[in-house]
Chains A and B, each alone.
Chain A
Amino acid sequence: MIERNRFLDVLSHLVLVLGVAVVAFPVYVTFVASTHTMQEVVQAPMPLWPGAHAWENYTVALFGDPSGSGATPAVGRMMMVSLITALVISFAKISMSLLSAFAIVYFKFPFRMAIFWAIFMTLMLPVEVRIGPTYQVVADLGMLNTYAGLTVPLVASATATFLFRQFFLTIPDELVEAARMDGAGPMRFFKDVLLPLSTSSMAALFVIQFIYGWNQYLWPLLVTTEERMYPVVIGIKRMISGGDAQTEWNIVMATAMLAMIPPALVVILMQKWFVKGLVDTEK
């Protein structure tokens, strides 16, 4: 496969550059748009170099319109809602799936495999399919417009349970037996052996689940009716007003940029762990 060929070198670089451009250019345009005034953004053609209004736009986006027109809600609060939601979903999901995988792999109880398959089957049922009944349950429990309503229905995860189950199955039985000889009870074994061994899988899952939680749109749209509980993704949508009202595209773009920062940070900071968790076989 290693063939030194100038033409191939150029070609492969060209493909890579093209790929990066396709992904990066829209982000760049978003950034540029967030640094101009509204009038400049809606001109055709749109300017392709950053403008001088970045500071104002981002301040408006984060803290609301100082002129007090109220057309643009403060994104700061929404970011907070999104952050809490995403964090709760990720942590709860990881702890739930760890425990359920632990139960399924290490305990013999009646209908163990049936339960595993039941969990596995829910993989085929995304939130959208069960959204009606789930909404009913959440509404009846009075959890609309609460963090519980935003997070609890999204916490159970067949994918994560399955991932941890597969990981636990690779842990040699002898290790379990050695722990038994050492006198470690089940929870002690879970805490002292399984958890430390699972850290890289947990980190990988955290990255995936954080982004999943952050990007939730449909579910928050249903269970939140008050502005104070809107996550940022919904906030963006609501800024794009239909009809006659003018959309402040510069502010929308600034909000979009802000909304991108936390997931990007999570990926960048946890990249090492993330890759390790997905490819590591040395256990």
Chain B
Amino acid sequence: MASIQLKHLIKRYGTGAKTVNVLHGIDATIDDGEFVVIVGPSGCGKSTLLRMIAGLEEVSEGDICIGERIVNQLEPAQRDIAMVFQNYALYPHMTVFDNMAYGLKIANVPSAEIQARVAKAAGILELSHLLQRKPRELSGGQRQRVAMGRAIVRQPQVFLFDEPLSNLDAKLRAQTRLEIQKLHRELGITSLFVTHDQVEAMTLAQRMMVMNGGVVEQFGTPEEVYNQPATTFVASFMGAPPMNLLSKVPGVPVGRVLGIRPEHMHVLPESEGSGWLGEVEALEMLGAERLVYVRVGEERLIVRVDESTQPPAIGAHVRVTARDDRLHWFHAETGLRVASGAHE
């Protein structure tokens, strides 16, 4: 078990005029035994970051420490880590047993111990009856579990997951998510999990690192990230539908952006209350709740209402109010969170 320290990590591709910066100096510490999810839109550098920690990409600048060691120059196999790949990357010609045992065989682990470790991992993952099968004879979920088994048997300091759930169907994904959580509770191994799916990120993470454009926008618990987004990007990226970011409605001073989550607003008939006056543009029924798309002046915003309340008609004029204690203020230019809507 070990902590991971990233010290001003920079990744660039190419040289001279064609240099492309992918990561712009990442600083972070992942504590021993922690489950951290790296989340962000595609192209934000999250996979590159993970692959650098794994040793599959070279470090351009900065240091990666796993435990007490700086691992920049070490081969992946020497870093004491294990990785689960997006497409599982199982060896197609080997049985499940051989797939899990291959790394141990190379490391010259005695065969009795290999047997024991594989049997134990297979037991945890309910793969014991499949050990003699080939990967092509397994379902997607089973392959996924073999890939995890391969990581477990190595008893690494750190687990790295590269979008391991994106090839599973929705139901299996939810199930595997729970299994990964359970596994982490049982083994307590420091884990880094990359995903672009915010639901996965919210449910799995003890702390999450929200990345955008090669920069860490926020690094905190899911509650912090959701309730106190540090930037407008985080505010709009987390949550579905995303937070409403308003700058042209009454009450928002110049140079500020007001963020309100859809569930913290109410829609009232025009005659009631004193909120913003708007027009209903569309309605979406999501089952337990309903989304009301309202246009207020030049801004469009989304309000989430309970399914049981009577929805307004499309085209109706309504008043929209927000909960005062759930307002988020951002600086219009930097996008950074500020304490209040007042000018300093």
Rounded to whole angstroms, the CA-CA distance of A172 and B89 in the bound complex is: 8
B residues with CB within 8 A of A: 54-56, 75-78, 81-83, 85-93, 102-103, 106-107, 136, 150
Question: B87 contacts A172, CB within 8 Å?
Answer: yes
Would A188 and B106 be within 8 Å (CB), given that A178-B85, A193-B91, A282-B136 are in contact? yes
| Segment 162-199 of A: residues with Cβ below 8 Å from B | 172, 174-175, 177-184, 188, 192-193, 196-197
Q: Does A108 contact B (CB under 8 A)?
A: no
Q: In the complex, A192→B94 CA distance in Å?
A: 9
CA of A183 to CA of B102, assembled, Å = 9
A283 interface residue per 8 A CB criterion: yes
**Given A179-B91, A183-B77, 19 more pairs with CB closer than 8 A:** A172-B87, A177-B54, A177-B76, A177-B83, A177-B89, A178-B90, A180-B55, A181-B76, A181-B83, A181-B103, A182-B106, A182-B150, A183-B107, A184-B102, A184-B106, A192-B91, A193-B91, A282-B136, A283-B92
B176 to chain A, nearest CB (A): 18
**What A residues does B88 contact at CB under 8 A?**
174
28 CB contacts below 8 A, A to B, read A174-B88, A175-B89, A177-B54, A177-B89, A178-B85, A178-B89, A178-B150, A179-B91, A180-B76, A180-B77, A181-B76, A181-B81, A181-B82, A181-B83, A181-B103, A182-B102, A182-B150, A183-B76, A183-B103, A183-B107, A184-B102, A188-B106, A192-B91, A192-B102, A196-B93, A197-B92, A282-B136, A283-B92
Min CB distance A110 to B, Å, is: 16
- Inter-chain contacts of B107 with A (CB < 8 A): 183
Interfacial residues, chain A to chain B (CB-CB below 8 A): 172, 174-175, 177-184, 188, 192-193, 196-197, 282-283
- Closest-CB distance, B84 to chain A (whole angstroms): 10
Q: Write out the residue numbers on chain A whose beta carbons fall within 8 Å of the beta carbon of B150.
A: 178, 182
Pick from A172, A180, A196: contact of B75, CB under 8 Å? A180
Q: Is the CB of B77 within 8 A of A174?
A: no
Max chain B Cβ within 10 angstroms of own Cβ: one of A172, A177, A188? A177
User: Given A181-B103, A183-B103, A174 and B54 touching (CB < 8 A)?
Assistant: no
Q: Within the complex, what minimum Cβ distance (angstroms) separates B145 from chain A?
A: 15
A179 to B55, CA, bound (A): 13
Also in contact, A177 and B92, with CB within 8 A (given A172-B87, A183-B103, A184-B106): no
B160's nearest neighbour on chain A, judged by CB, is A181
A124 to nearest B CB, angstroms?
A: 34
**A178 CA to B106 CA in the complex, in Å?**
13
Which of A174, A181, A183 contacts B87 (CB under 8 A)?
A174
CA distance A84 to B8 in the complex (A): 63
Q: Could you tell me if A181 and B77 are in contact, using CB atoms closer than 8 angstroms?
A: yes
**Could you tell me the distance between the alpha carbons of A180 and B150 in the complex, rounded to whole angstroms?**
13
Instruction: Tell me if A180 and B103 are in contact (CB < 8 A).
Output: no
Looking at the complex, which one of A174, A182, A184, A188 makes contact with B86 (CB distance below 8 Å)? A174
Q: Whole-angstrom distance between the alpha carbons of A282 and B134 in the complex?
A: 13
In-complex Cβ contact of A175 among B54, B86, B91, B106 (8 A): B91
